[in-house]
Structure 1
Amino acid sequence: MANHKTKLAVFCSGTGTNFQAIYHAINERDLPAEFSLCLSNRSECGAMTFAAAKGIPTVHLSEKQYDTHEEFASAMLKALGEHDVEYILLAGYLRKVPEAVVEAYNLKILNIHPALLPKFGGKGMYGISVHQAVLEAGEKETGATVHYVDTEYDKGPILLQRTVPVKKGDTPESLAARVLECEHQVYPDALEKLLTGTNR
């Protein structure tokens, strides 16, 4: 179908600045995609508020709502199916995606990590702790990595990376701010590469 728009779900836990960057890039670049679902483990967060304001269906789904991990995974798959989701974008989603969902969406789930994987990845490596580790290691550059999600933290195949210089006198906070700006560029670029096969 020439006019088919790939249906995307975004999984968020916080403000959703990467989600917003991707949403605006889709419109500005006229990419063949649209968000059909915003899923969060928090009933109230910036990402859910933004999605609701843009008319994107929202679903609050937390493992605490279910008796078993299997029931939670099943509910997630049901929500994805009901909204015809083809690809999932993780944007500050602070939970591990259930294995059943990863298997159902093999090589169709993307995540962004605020470092140059495979360095500074793995369990517990998120948020400010990543930038702290980069500075403590004396790295001269860091960056952002968009990768496919598999069943291990930050181990899936890399789709796109971009570097950011580490500057003299950087704090974890100043470095985080610079990397976040990079994330807002590289995540939409990675999606465009995925959808159209072109690099920016």
Structure 2
Amino acid sequence: MTVSNTKKALVVTSSILGNQGQSRALAEHFKASAAKRGNLQITERDLVAMDLPHLTGDELASWQVAPESRSPAQRELVARSDALIEELLVHDVLVLAVPLYNLGIPSQLKAWFDRILRAGKTFRYTAAGPQGLVEGKRAVILAARGGQYAGTEMDSQTPHLKSMLGLIGISEVELVFAEGLAMGGEHREQALSEARQAIDAVIDRL
């Protein structure tokens, strides 16, 4: 195996529980399994440690200003989004380790998406609707939930994530669920074991 034949995976975590979070445990298993197989080069982006702030009107406005006309403050704001987009673009696979908070995604992950879903950079508006500009990427969602929501109307998280990824052109998305983690020890261990097996199978397909 050579590095040139190795795909690059960006693993994005957003659990406020740090190493105690179950979504983080899924991410760690993904990394360990990939290391054993040797087919993925991993970069990890911990959004909680990064302490990415919520998007503001000033930051949004800075994107609309021509580069040569930006103030130093605007250039700094634009650089934050540009760096996150560039990090995404240099990887082949995006892995989102996502806990379920009040039926939605963590605000830290939303703040990340707010910087990478950028008109003119990662998608554009056309007469036929939005067109994604991020090509040739795959995504894996590692979803950890205390209850069981997959396939029900209460799972508003998964469609939201797939829609945001689709907006920028990432339509090939694999889902791994670890559900019912708050429903007792036996159920929890079985769910995590099945999720780990699913992760291994996903990595074999990448």
TM interval, shorter chain, is 0.5 to 0.7
Letter paired with 2:95: L
1:29-178 maps to which residues of 2 (within 5 A)? 30-35=37-42, 37-43=43-49, 60=50, 62-64=52-54, 67-68=58-59, 71=78, 73-81=81-89, 84-92=90-98, 94=106, 95-96=109-110, 97-98=113-114, 99-100=117-118, 103-105=132-134, 108-114=138-144, 117-119=150-152, 120-123=154-157, 149-151=162-164, 159=174, 172-174=183-185, 175-178=187-190
Distance in 1 of aligned mates of 2:140 and 2:83: 20
For the aligned residue pairs, the C-alpha RMSD in angstroms reads 3.9
Larger Rg: 2
Secondary structure at the aligned position of 2:150 is classed as coil
Letter paired with 2:52: S
Distance 1:62-1:4 versus aligned 2 partners, 3 A rule? same
TM superposition score normalised by structure 1: 0.54
Distance 1:26-1:150 versus aligned 2 partners, 3 A rule? same
Secondary structure at the aligned position of 2:98 is classed as coil
Higher relative contact order (CA 8 A, sep 6+): 2
TM superposition score normalised by structure 2: 0.52
Q: Percent identity?
A: 10
Letter paired with 2:150: L
Distance in 2 of aligned mates of 1:68 and 1:181: 42
Q: Which has the higher helix share?
A: 2
Distance in 2 of aligned mates of 1:179 and 1:104: 36
Distance in 1 of aligned mates of 2:98 and 2:178: 20
Where structure 1 has 5 or more consecutive residues not aligned to the other structure, the ranges are 44-59, 126-147, 196-200
Aligned match of 1:50: none
Distance 1:74-1:110 versus aligned 2 partners, 3 A rule? same
Aligned match of 2:10: 9
Distance in 1 of aligned mates of 2:40 and 2:150: 27
TM-superposed deviation, 1:160: 5.7
Secondary structure at the aligned position of 1:121 is classed as coil
Where structure 2 has 5 or more consecutive residues not aligned to the other structure, the ranges are 64-77, 100-105, 124-131
